[in-house]
Amino acid sequence: MCGRYGIQSTERELLSRFDLTKIAEQIPMSFNVAPGATMPVVVKQSPNSLELMRWGLVPRWAKDLDHGLKTINARAETVAEKPMYRKLLGSQRCLVPASGFYEWQKTPKGKQPYWIRLKSEELFAFAGLWDTWHDPDGGELHTYTIITCAPNQLMEPIHNRMPVILRREDEESWLDPDTVESERSVPLLRPYSAGAMEAYPVSRAVNNPQNDGAKLVEPTSH
């Protein structure tokens, strides 16, 4: 799964990296993004648009917001089959910008958090889906989920799942509304190249979502 990630970037980097023309709102940054946080998400428009959405998908038919706590991730293997995600896969795909993510490895001393990123330390994008929920008063809430897949060789010793990191050349296809058929979009949901990634243990301070700052991603001993 993917239950925590981080994004640190400047507005200029985001504009350039995701082919945006402007950013209308101040973009939140965090080394410790937890479910329920409102974070930047790229959606396809003309040009691409950066929107702030809440992490944890609340489908439009949900009765309340509690549903989003259970849907921070969607499995790549079943995303084209489950009613909650099938329609979104056809028309409401998004990119979730990130600098890295955390995963916890089970050890005799307890769960050890790891920070996982690209070796280049560049921004990348998770494959995501989004939806709009309306409250009883008619207010709108945009929410998203991050798609996960089987682990690559780097991730396998740490955890049995990993978030789908899209190859940069596949990002536009993932956003493209003409890529409707699941036969075209689902093949993009595969493990990222292990050779292009790195992982190292970090402080258990990340376990508390209230903690933030660059110290969270500093290497530490087990």
Residues 6+ apart with CB under 8 A from 108: none
Using CA atoms, how far apart are residues 29 and 21, in angstroms rounded to an integer?
19
Residues 6+ apart with CB under 8 A from 222: 107, 109, 112, 201
Among 2, 94, 149, 171, the one annotated catalytic: 2
Longest dimension (CA), the chain: 51
Using CA atoms, how far apart are residues 16 and 204, in angstroms rounded to an integer?
34
Among 94, 103, 149, 171, the one annotated catalytic: 103
Using CA atoms, how far apart are residues 82 and 87, in angstroms rounded to an integer?
9
103 is catalytic: yes
CA 152-205-57 angle, to 5 degrees, is 60
CA atoms in the 13 A half-sphere facing the CB of 130: 27
Residues 6+ apart with CB under 8 A from 117: 99, 100, 101, 197, 198, 199
Using CA atoms, how far apart are residues 156 and 116, in angstroms rounded to an integer?
12
94 is catalytic: no
The residues carrying an active-site annotation are 2, 103
